[in-house]
Structures are given as C-alpha cells and as structure tokens.
Structure 1
C-alpha cells in the first residue's frame, strides 16, 4: 500500500480561442500547481474499488474512470482498492478531478507494475479530461519537475516552464460550484450576443501576454500583473454569479496585489506579499471556503 498527493492548480491567465470540429475549444493558459492536495491511497484488490466521501456514484468519478481506462489499455484484469481523500473542492476551477485522474494513472502504473512511460499515461489521461495531461508535468523528466506550463489545444499541448520562486495565494470559493460545460456555453452565448466571435481567434497578443506574465513570475517583478492577468470566463460567470466579482473586489481591498477567477470558476484567488498577510486577510472570508497556499517550484 502507498499513497500519492495530487495537487490543485490555478490559471494565471486563461483565453478561450476558436471552437474545434470535435466540439471542444482551443485554449491558451498559464497553469501552475499549488500546495493544496487530494490524497490517493492504493492497494491490491480483486476488483476496482473506490472509497471516497464524494457525493457522486463511484463509477462516475474520474478516479474510477481512469482505473478502467488503464485496465483496458493494458489489457489486464487487475483490481485495486483506491481511497480518495478530498481537500480540493469540486466545481472550483482548481483541477481537482483532473489531478486525481492523472495521479490514479501514475499510482496504478506503479501498483500493477506496468512500466508505462509518462507520455503513454498522458495520452490515456487526455481522453479523460482536457486538464489531465498538465498534471503529469514534463514528460521528459520527473513528474514533479514542471509545476508551471503553458497549455494550448484542448489543454493537452503543453510547454513546461521552470520557476524557482514561490508565491502566496489566498483562495476563496463561494458556495456555488460551476460545471465547466456550463461555463463554455455561457461564454459562447455571451460572445454570440455581442457579435464579437472574431475576437476569440486572435492569439498573437495573447501569447505575448502569457509570456510577459511568466517572465514576471520568474523574475519576481509582479508589480504589473494586475494589469496583465485575464480570464475569458470571468465576465460571463460573474454575470450569472455576481458574488465572484464581489470576492475579487474584497480580495483587493484586503491587500491582494491582484485577484482573478481560476479556470471556469468558482474559486477566486489573490496574490499576497507573504503568508502572514494572506492569513490575516483570510479572516475576512470566514463565511466562505478559503485556503492560504503557495505555488509549487
């Protein structure tokens, strides 16, 4: 028996580009793992068994689906008992389910002695969810070596980056949970209503902006991040859930140098100078789920 910790992620910026022929959208995002983890415990069993307190049937959980996918890919009938302890909230834009799926593939590859390469596991993961490949890190190195990457395509085209600075974030999640499919539909409806679909296809300036954000994080010169960060989902989601906009404003008033929604929501995070200031600010958000975390290096 052994355990793995599956980290959450945030998006420093997220752009939704054109809709693809397969029904998905191309995206452009700077993603970064953070020190908030789900824990997965693995041991041998006759069948695939998932133990969790999540309020969905086990067979609908991405952990269970990942186990079945690996079983099918490898052509084996091995079972496993997987205990999933959740700390990353669901429907939060923090990638918890995707991370759980990735680390399930990693864990079962070890438990079952399959010896599959990371890039093979990544391919299996990409069929489970768009964010899953990110959590494998750099496929040419150890999985823990690339906590930050530029994601393109559906999210499966990754440019791993290096960073040696950690940043303190305060995460705030209101009681609402936002399904990613709903967020895409809401964004699409809003864009159609504004007649600005062409704006979704312009990528050059967005790539430049992503690179500027990364360089700021790499060098520690984060003074202009507030003016650079962007999430295409944000306005569409705030239109339906004004509390997210309210939380952004409160984070800035509480001392955050910038605040933005992560992924398709509903978590908002603020960047703080140090942990003490973030912890102090968190007391203003006691009515919401909140955590002070650091980005990984």
Structure 2
C-alpha cells in the first residue's frame, strides 16, 4: 500500500499562554498543501522502517506510530515501511507528524482494524500534538496543544512558494526563545478564519501572523532574510510556518511566483511551489 502524507502550513499561529502541564496553549489555522512524503507499507512479522535520506532511530515518528498501533490493538504482526522523504525536517511543515498519521491510517486499512477518525486521532496525539490534524487534513482551526480541531472553509486559492534555509529550527528551542521574550505579535485568528471563508485574501493578510516568527528568526537569521526577499520579489504576503525555518510566500500572479522561484532555487537548498489540498493523507 502506498500513501501520500501531505505537509501543512500554519496560516496563523497564536500562543495564548502556558498550561499547568508546561505545554503551550495555541490557536492555529492549519492547511494541508501539495508537498508530500510517500510511504510504502506492507504487512510483515516485524516492524522495519527504511528511509534513504534520514536515520530511522527508536524516536522516529513512523516507528513509534507503528509500535503504538500494534500494541494498542494487541496485534503481534508488524509492517515493513519505506519512507520517501520530500518534506524537510525542522521546517515547520509537519513532515514527521504527517508520516506518523499516514502510518496509522495505512495500518488501519491493511489490518482491517476498523478504527474511526476519532480513534485514530486518539492514537495520533500520543505521538505528537500535530498528528491528529493530518488524519483528515484540509483546512482546520486547531486549539489546545493542537488536538482540538474544527473544520473551516478556505476559499482563498493561494499560490505558495516554500523556501527553507540550510539551518532548521527545533520546536523546543523556538518555544524556549519565545518564553524568554515578550509577546509582540498581534494576531486575529477569528478575523483570519472569516477572511479565508469569504475568500478575502487581503483581510487574511491583515489578520494573520505567527507568534513564533520573531523567536525563530533570532535563532535562524536567514528566516528574516528570506521574508524580506519574498516581498522584494513580488509576494503579496510572506510568513514563517510553525516553528520554522521554512517561509511561505503567497503570489497573486503565477508569472511573479515563477520569477521568484527562479531566484530562490539558486540560493537556498529547498524551494518548492505548492497549493492547498483538501486531505491530509491520500492512497495512491
């Protein structure tokens, strides 16, 4: 079985505070995009993970998801999983979480376990706070630590350009830097939801923001450089996604996006075009 595990963008990310358990209370708008990893999964008598572009250790999200699935359901078999990585790590694009969600989704089909979306999400949140979003995907508002999901409408047909510098930003480091500073970003998630639903791109640009952008740009100054270059090269809007270090830019005209792409692709190790998609996982 082959599945696409789509990446995500945070179209807004507001940090409301710190909970008693030490996790951050969030209010986010999450959108699945056309960039995706591909997982090939087949039944086996053991769990075996292979990926040519990265080390697959015990903490790998795919391995953890597979082991959690089998342990929870009491299944003594396993799976052979091959990961084709196209989503870069430490980018804010959710590649690890998306791969974990795709693993749970595929194993549920292969072993005919009969778990519904809610049950898969209950498993997924044990792997990571973003994992429940990818089981379903599309356009959602995510609150709590990211597990409280509400479907929203996104009528803005954005053309994205994704640009990531060589250096990544770990989520823990970004939140630590944020906690050490003062909240300065003004983000109106309610207004952003309304703007997306109405297809009002300019209202969205005015309302959106990323509460981690300042902290991550301090850790990785290339983020700020890319944001400036996006505007200079014709983007209508540019913002970092998640904890970074990937920046996404929005262009109204395809010709302008192509112009910017030709510039960026010569300067940075990762530069991709992308559009919105309505699902988090797709069977190939």
- Provide Cα deviations, 1:191-250, integer angstroms capped at 9, x if missing partner: 3xxxx6xx89xxxx95xx223222222322212333322111111111222211111011
The C-alpha deviation readout for 1:77-125, integer Å capped at 9, x for no partner, is 1111111101100100000100110110000111112111111110010
The normalised TM-score by structure 2 is 0.92
Match of 1:103 in 2: 102
Structure number with higher helix proportion = 1
The answer to whether residue 129 in structure 2 is matched with residue 130 in structure 1 is yes
Structure 2 equivalent of residue 273 of structure 1: 252
Give the SS at the match of 1:97.
helix
Moved more, 158-167 or 77-86: 158-167
Match of 1:58, SS state, is: coil
Contact 1:170 1:290 in 2 (8 A): yes
Alignment of 1:292 with 2:278, yes or no, is: no
CA RMSD of aligned residues (A): 1.7
Alpha-carbon offset, residue 159 of structure 1: 0.7
Match of residue 158, structure 1, among 144, 149, 166: 149
Output the CA distance in 1 between the equivalents of 2:216 and 2:199. Answer: 30
> Are the aligned partners of 1:42 and 1:80 in contact in 2 as well (CA < 8 Å)?
yes
Q: CA deviation at 1:158?
A: 0.6
* Residue of structure 1 in register with 2:165 after alignment: 174
2:226 is aligned with 1:261: no
CA distance in 2, matches of 1:18, 1:211: 17
Unaligned runs of 5+ in 1: 138-145
- Matched with 2:52 is 53
Equivalenced residue count is 276
Q: Retained in 1: the 8 A contact 2:30–2:139?
A: yes
What residue in structure 2 maps to residue 112 of structure 1?
Answer: 111
Where do 1:8-47 residues align within 5 Å? 8-47=7-46
Instruction: After superposition, give the CA deviation of every residue in 1:122-152 in whole Å (9 maximum; x if it has no partner).
Output: 0010011011111112xxxxxxxx5011100
Instruction: Report runs of 4+ in structure 1 exceeding 3 Å deviation.
Output: none
Check whether the contact 1:50–1:58 (CA below 8 A) recurs between aligned residues. Answer: no
Question: 1:140-187 deviations in whole A, cap 9, x for unaligned?
Answer: xxxxxx501110001000111133553110000000111111111111
Unaligned 5+ residue runs, structure 2? 279-284
